[in-house]
Chains A and B, each alone.
Chain A
Amino acid sequence: DAMVIQNPRYQVTQFGKPVTLSCSQTLNHNVMYWYQQKSSQAPKLLFHYYDKDFNNEADTPDNFQSRRPNTSFCFLDIRSPGLGDAAMYLCATSRDPAPNEKLFFGSGTQLSVL
């Protein structure tokens, strides 16, 4: 089945140690999103790629970066994770960036920071 795949399901890192989360998609969608979801809070959009164009949300910390080397893959890099960055990170895709588009989500990566 075409889908959005996130690896790993659980990631543990140390305070200040760079970490990369990955997302791949077989839907051939143009847009890929990264959401951060802290415990008992709403998912919050960090940034998205529309094809190769990167769109950062105004309140996304500089500590968070993203790469999209090709249509299928997108990475979330956290340069110096702090304890407050522990969260579920959700990757999603859509065919195009129109506000009425359906988003397809991966299962998420639960990040723990020790």
Chain B
Amino acid sequence: AQSVTQLDSQVPVFEEAPVELRCNYSSSVSVYLFWYVQYPNQGLQLLLKYLSGSTLVKGINGFEAEFNKSQTSFHLRKPSVHISDTAEYFCAVSGSGNTGKLIFGQGTTLQVKP
């Protein structure tokens, strides 16, 4: 079975500052890792995903994440945030044996202040 822990429920940050949203997972099998973003009053949309290969994954809107197998982490980063990045961010994992079943973390609210 897989599980996901997002360590911060809320992350306030000033505009143009860097940000890191933390995600740790547990799994007994190989995993695929995802970050989804949910803007206010919208559905979740995929930011980026790690399937295999390079551990540094680049996504949309300038976000990137690094898969660290030894630390079972998949932290999301952006070097300089904008007001428009204010949203809920969900880390998710699916195992190689599951049929498309995504296990989500509880989400981190990123609040970008001017």
Binding site for B on A (CB under 8 A): 4, 6, 31, 33, 40-45, 48, 50, 55, 90, 92, 94, 96-108
Contact = CB atoms under 8 A, between A and B. Distances in A.
Given A99-B94, A100-B32, A45 B102 contact: yes
Interface of B: 4, 9, 32, 36, 41-46, 49, 51, 90, 94-107
A58 B72 CA distance: 27
Nearest to B42: A107
B102 A103 contact: yes
B104 A105 contact: no
Contacts, number: 67
Given A42-B4, A42-B90, A42-B107, A99 B43 contact: no
Contacts of B107: 40, 42
Q: Which 8 A-B pairs give the minimum distances between C-beta atoms?
A: A105-B43, A99-B94, A97-B100, A42-B104, A105-B44, A97-B99, A107-B43, A100-B32
